[in-house]
Amino acid sequence: MSDPLDLLFIDVTDPLYEGECDLRFRVLREPLGMSRSTVAFPFEADSLHLVAATIDGAVMGCVLFHPDGAGGGRLFQMAVDPSLQGQGIGRSLVEHLEAELTERGVESIELHARDHAVGFYAGMGYAPFGEPYEEVGIPHQNMRKTWGD
Ligand SMILES: CC(C)(COP(=O)(O)OP(=O)(O)OC[C@H]1O[C@@H](n2cnc3c(N)ncnc32)[C@H](O)[C@@H]1OP(=O)(O)O)[C@@H](O)C(=O)NCCC(=O)NCCS
């Protein structure tokens, strides 16, 4: 059994940010043959960054959220270190993010799910909408979850 991870909201000036970017590169970019320069999004600094980190500061999971300023926004860059996948870390990250967003008055999340991750999001109440499409060279499906009144 591995040690529990801390779930922390950080910004791009946090010392953990470099580890977050490393994880995003290893899990989401390198396997697709993409370069490290493709990790950062244009709206990186305007997004929430939630990381799952060990007590020693190793980032083992992350998820980002970019608010649209109208009560919704986009969840993106969801990643868990391959050595820890399937142990509930991804679910914890999404649930923690949703709780924080609820506090902030956000009531709707959209995301671009990779085909193989559709079941993961569906298990947490996200519903597909629109037609499947290709992004970063692989099939994707838009999904959405809305709560509140
Ligand atoms: C997808 C990913 C974030 C899931 O994180 P994880 O920590 O492995 O998932 P969890 O262990 O928290 O799983 C939560 C639930 O989803 C289910 N699940 C996980 N991956 C799934 C999948 N690919 N398809 C269907 N269900 C899945 C689990 O069985 C679990 O179900 P339960 O709560 O009923 O037991 C992780 O596997 C990952 O980083 N994959 C590679 C990067 C990626 O594809 N990111 C998503 C880009 S859109």
Domain parsing of the chain, residue ranges: 6-108
Residues of the chain short of pLDDT 50, as ranges, are: none
User: What digits encode the pLDDT tens for the residues 63-93?
Assistant: 999 999 999 999 999 999 999 999 999 999 9
76 C-alpha to ligand 1 centroid (Å) = 14
- Distance (Å, rounded) from C-alpha 66 to C-alpha 89? 21
CATH number for the domain whose boundaries are 6-108: 3.40.630.30
- Distance (Å, rounded) from C-alpha 128 to C-alpha 91? 18
Does ligand 1 lie within 6 Å of residue 64's CB atom?
A: no
84 C-alpha to ligand 1 centroid (Å) = 11
Does ligand 1 lie within 6 Å of residue 73's CB atom?
A: no
Question: Ligand 1, atom 5: nearest CA belongs to which residue?
Answer: 90
- Probe target for ligand 1 pocket from 65, 120, 135, 140, with the most ligand atoms within 8 Å of CB: 120
Instruction: Please report the sign of the dihedral spanned by the C-alpha atoms of residue 113, residue 117, residue 122, residue 125.
Output: negative
CA 27 to chain centre: 12
Q: Which residue has the tokens 């799910």?
A: 113
Alpha helices, H only, 10-146: 17-24, 89-103, 118-122
Per DSSP bridges, beta strands 108-114 and 73-80 are parallel
What is the model's pTM? 0.97
Does ligand 1 lie within 6 Å of residue 135's CB atom?
A: no
Structure tokens at 138: 């692989």
Q: Go through 115-126 and write b for each residue having 16 or more CB atoms within 10 A of its CB, e for each that does not.
A: eebbebbeeeeb
| Residue 2 pLDDT | 66
